[in-house]
Chains A and B, each alone.
Chain A
């Protein structure tokens, strides 16, 4: 007979698993139960995580333990977020938000230019040729990227030759999307298999053993 604690916890997990699957048929009290439970639990989990992994190491320790008083600045900014609790002073919260957004956008400008634009561009600079497979494929990639970029033009009407290129571009995109979709099916199915495994190979034997032991 399995330890009663494990059994209860695992049975709860199995029950919640069924609750979520029941949503496939229609929205129902079981799903609502699981949904609201997980919303509360996850919010609490994340909040505690922020407390222990965020507030304590990033604010409490630096200021009170290491005496890095300059950490008071973000601390105060954080406090300013709380002005949102009052209608009258809510506008003050724009300062921390401005800082927050400023950091994000500032970092993004060069970083995204490097990782998304320059790197992709240099990656496409490969030798093209018509007398070997690799060369031809490289050529096709370059053409594909070119046409797809044409599709993204906003300030030019998609008609005539330009429209033709754009159309070829969107075809390329569609092949990519189709491939992405088809490629993903396998991964999604294995997620389902894992759940079935949990029910059939972890929970059920445990449950059966218990029932067997009791009756």
Chain B
């Protein structure tokens, strides 16, 4: 049996084996794969880097636990980046089942960096009607959130002393798996000229690239891929990156098999021509 025939008629179990290995090795042995970072992700990262100590950023954690897999890495890495630069955070959770999850995340990461609620960050929590809440916050955070998630009046929080509304935050970054982003676009960006970036789930992404072109969003992260890009930029490779590493290797393997098959195919054709 000629070599090219082997290439073409490869027992599919070899394919299965390679796919299995392609998933297992990167799963257990961490190693680096180059990740191409898209400009829309880099834009967000560069903006975050441009923030100075004491600046305030609004981080909207508007997703439910069911979108955790895709969006938690983004929220995590951004929060780390902000805290490491001593940027203060105003955090909302405008998705009904999100607040508890967001609270855990904040607790965990603020501990890592020894940040205190009310001093370094202010967790507003959840209120229904995101559209109205987002609009009202444009007037004053205290309209929808007279007190923070833990019930402390905003006015009594040192950090919120001279923070009234969107005018006092550098930008809003909405990490969301819901239509909250639409409200941020309309009631936040369009109405109050909020500088807005978003991190959405992979399936949602396609619908929001247009806003990127029209400049209503200054950056956009798409699902796990966006998260992994960001992890690479922020140089804290974590869950998203390891997931992407597996994906990359797997995709390379699939591609290679397609190539192998075609090499065999061409050789076969050449062989026929000769005979």
Query: B243 at interface (Cβ–Cβ under 8 A)?
Result: yes
Take A24-B13, A24-B16, A193-B243 as given contacts and tell me if A185 and B27 are in contact as well, using a CB distance cutoff of 8 Å. no
Interchain nearest-CB distance for B254 vs A (Å): 6
Query: Which residues on B sit within 8 Å (CB–CB) of A200?
Result: 27-28
Contact of A189 with B23 at beta-carbon distance under 8 Å, contacts A24-B13, A24-B16, A25-B13 already known: yes
CB pair A193–B251 under 8 Å, yes or no, is no
CB distance from B229 to the nearest CB of A (A): 14
Interface residues as binary, B5-41 with A (CB distance below 8 Å gives 1, 0 otherwise): 0000000010010010001100110000000000000
Contacts of B254 in A (CB 8 A): 185
A190 at the interface (CB under 8 A from B): yes
In the bound complex, residues from chain A placing their C-beta under 8 Å from that of B13 are 24-25
Could you tell me if A189 and B24 are in contact, using CB atoms closer than 8 angstroms?
no
Q: Does A186 contact B (CB under 8 A)?
A: yes
Q: Which of A147-206 contact B (CB under 8 A)?
A: 185-186, 189-190, 192-193, 196, 200
Q: A24-B16, A25-B13 are in contact. Are A196 and B250 (CB under 8 A)?
A: no
CB-CB nearest in chain B for A193: B246
Closest Cβ neighbor of B251 among chain A residues: A185
Are A196 and B247 in contact (CB-based, < 8 A)? no
Cβ A186 vs Cβ B23 within 8 A:
no
A185 to B253, CA, bound (A): 11
Q: In the assembled complex, which residues on chain A have CB atoms less than 8 Å from the CB atom of B250?
A: 185, 189
Chain A residues 11 to 49 lying within 8 A of chain B, measured CB to CB, are: 24-25
Q: Would you give the shortest CB distance from B210 to chain A, in whole angstroms? A: 9
> Which chain B positions have C-beta within 8 A of A189?
23, 246-247, 250-251
Minimum distance in angstroms from A27 CB to a CB of chain B: 13
Find out whether the CB atom of A196 lies under 8 angstroms from the CB atom of B23.
Answer: yes
Contact B247 A190 (CB under 8 A): yes
- Residues of A near B247 (CB, < 8 A) are 186, 189-190
Q: Which residues of A contact B243 (CB under 8 A)?
A: 190, 193
Q: In the assembled complex, how far is the CB of residue B173 from the closest CB belonging to chain A, in whole angstroms?
A: 25
Per-residue interface assignment for chain B, residues 239 to 275, with 1 indicating a CB less than 8 Å from any chain A CB and 0 otherwise? 0000100110011001000000000000000000000
Closest to B23 in A: A192
A25 to B17, CA, bound (A): 9
Give Cα A25–Cα B27 distance, bound, in whole angstroms. 22
Task: Determine the distance from Cα of A190 to Cα of B242 in the docked complex, in whole angstroms.
Answer: 12
> Which chain A residues in 65-114 approach chain B with CB under 8 Å?
none
> Chain B residues in contact with chain A, CB under 8 A?
13, 16, 19, 23-24, 27-28, 243, 246-247, 250-251, 254
* Interface pairs (24), CB distance under 8 Å: A24-B13, A24-B16, A25-B13, A185-B250, A185-B251, A185-B254, A186-B247, A186-B251, A189-B23, A189-B247, A189-B250, A189-B251, A190-B243, A190-B247, A192-B19, A193-B23, A193-B27, A193-B243, A193-B246, A196-B23, A196-B24, A196-B27, A200-B27, A200-B28
Q: Closest 4 CB pairs between A and B?
A: A189-B250, A24-B16, A192-B23, A196-B27
